[in-house]
Amino acid sequence: MKFFLKAYGFIGVLLISNCLSAQIPNEGFFLGGGASMLLMNGTGKIEDTDFDVTTKMFGNDDDEDDVKIGWGWDNKILLGLSPYIGYRINSHFSMMATYNYYFEKNEKETATIPGLPFVDVMGNTMEMQSEISGSTDYSQRSFSLFANYFPSKKQGIFISAGLEFLSLSLKMSSTYDITGGMSEFYSATDTYQGEDNVIAPVLGAGIEIPIISNKTMLVAKGLYSFAAYKGHKLLQNDNAPLNPLTGEVEDIDLKLGIGGFVGSIGMQMYLNPERQPETERQETEIKGKKRSNICFVPNLGIAKAIGEGSEDWSIGLSAGCNIFFQTNKSVSLGGRIAYNRFSPNGEELIKQARSMRIPPYYESYDYQLKSTSGSLSIIELLPSIRFRMSRSETQDFNVALQAGAGFFFMSGDAEVKGYYKDQHTESSITLKIERDSVTKPGIQLGVAMDIKQKVTIQPNYNIILTEDENTKYFSLYIGLLLGDNLNK
């Protein structure tokens, strides 16, 4: 034991000393990968019943006031692999794309329930008993985009922020066998399965430690995923009985925290690292001879849905970041990632509820709004091109056209509660808007107006190619121009 402790201590000293002496590249592409572990939140609800992935599938209703169901997992840990690719922009910033492949989680469970004595037609007495067996197969994969910030040029500690796009798959099966003596009276199998997608933010930190050379890094990261699933697509059963009112299969709603703490460790290699001696780099920066031609534009603004159904949603908030690399004096290439959130327009929806009432006497009722909840979220992931219209570098006001084409990730639902009354009666009313999580292609057109090469104001027109009629919304934001000037 002492030998291993000394060996680990010696290796640790070597790594720390190498980290302090080796130089971390300031620029270049890199590839990496490693092992990852997700400690899932793993709690939620199925319909109105509490749910925990580590709770047994059967035999959890001894306390009628605290009924729980689950998948019978031994723990809430998912193990996997996480390859990634990225680009170190400068000594302070890098960007990377990661694919997290978690291994499928499988569990099986069987329970036997003794029954009551039963007498058959021959007068034989036997005991009926029920055997219930169940299984779950769950898989979770994710694709993540990160921006990393290195506070110090000389150390490899970094802060990460990004978005992950999760793909979920679930299959639940239950088999019921009722037997008595040597006979089987009843046997049935129910299977619920489905797939769905979720988008969530991720925050964390990590460290790059140079080993062997300044090209090869040992990388350790600790992240927290805020992912949560809410929907019915994971639990679908085409053979379930139909709802007599709607003629459709009843949906089973699932709410589950699928995020949590994510730890990973692995290796990373820079493909074409650029590292200048610190004195030379300082001299270069002072003289202004080297430009990265990269500009970051963090922005904040408002968004408004337009077209059919737009009156159901109020003016929303928009937050995002544009990143562009200047290829020549007129053209810059890059992309935009943004989050838009719309709240339901309760007053308008209550008005619609009144207009939908068929009997004439409902027109005299007084409709009032009680509360609204929920939201519609749209995330933009758009590779873009920026074309500068003005030519002078010294102008305090420059105009550029911006166009992007990529994907929009939409999800959300809303609930509006109110009531209607006359002189004698009062009745409550609840309206629901439900949207499944979908990923759709779309385009964005905008005009950027740069003021004194520090601030930009930009209106955008967005078209999402959805079924039937396209979804459209307008956004207007103000942003800061950080990094190199795109108007040079």
Indicate the domain borders of the chain. Answer: 28-105+135-169+186-290, 292-488
How many Å is the maximal CA-CA distance in the chain? 105
Say what the pLDDT of residue 203 is: 92
The dihedrals phi and psi of 383, each to the nearest 5 degrees, come to: -60, 135
CB 295 within 8 A of CB 486: yes
How many other CB atoms are found less than 10 A from the CB of residue 333? 13
Q: Residue 110 pLDDT > 90, yes or no?
A: no
Domain 292-488, CATH among 3.90.550.10, 3.40.605.10, 2.40.160.20, 3.40.50.620: 2.40.160.20
Q: Which residues contact 135 (CB under 8 A, 6 or more apart)?
A: 106, 107, 108, 109, 171, 172, 173
For the ranges 3-7, 252-256, 303-307, 392-396, which has the lowest average pLDDT? 3-7
Q: Which residues pair with 324 in a beta bridge?
A: 295, 334
CB 90 within 8 A of CB 38: no
Going by C-alpha positions, the residue among 143, 89, 88, 97 that lies closest to residue 269 is 88
Domain 28-105+135-169+186-290 has CATH 3.40.50.800: no
Say what the pLDDT of residue 365 is: 64
CB 133 within 8 A of CB 110: yes
Please state the pTM of the whole predicted model. 0.61
Question: What is the rounded average pLDDT for all residues in the chain?
Answer: 78
Number of continuous H segments (helices) and E segments (strands) in the chain: 3, 24
The one-character DSSP state at 311 is G
Say what the pLDDT of residue 37 is: 94
CB 142 within 8 A of CB 100: yes
Higher pLDDT, 57 or 342: 342
Burial of 297 (0-12, 13-18, 19+ CB in 10 A): buried
Q: Helix, strand, or coil here: 8? A: helix
Q: Which amino acid is residue 276, in one-letter code?
A: Q
Higher pLDDT, 108 or 262: 262
For the ranges 93-97, 149-153, 404-408, 436-440, which has the lowest average pLDDT? 436-440
Q: Residue 362 pLDDT > 60, yes or no?
A: no
Say what the pLDDT of residue 456 is: 92
Say what the pLDDT of residue 287 is: 45
Q: Residue 455 pLDDT > 80, yes or no?
A: yes
Q: Residue 39 pLDDT > 90, yes or no?
A: yes
Q: Which range, 61-75, 122-136, 247-261, is most confident?
A: 247-261
How many angstroms separate the Cα of 390 from the Cα of each of 295, 334, 338? 18, 19, 27
Residue whose structure tokens are 């291994």: 103
Say what the pLDDT of residue 174 is: 78
Averaged over 133-144, what is the pLDDT? 88
Averaged over 26-34, what is the pLDDT? 86
Fold: same for 28-105+135-169+186-290 and 292-488: yes
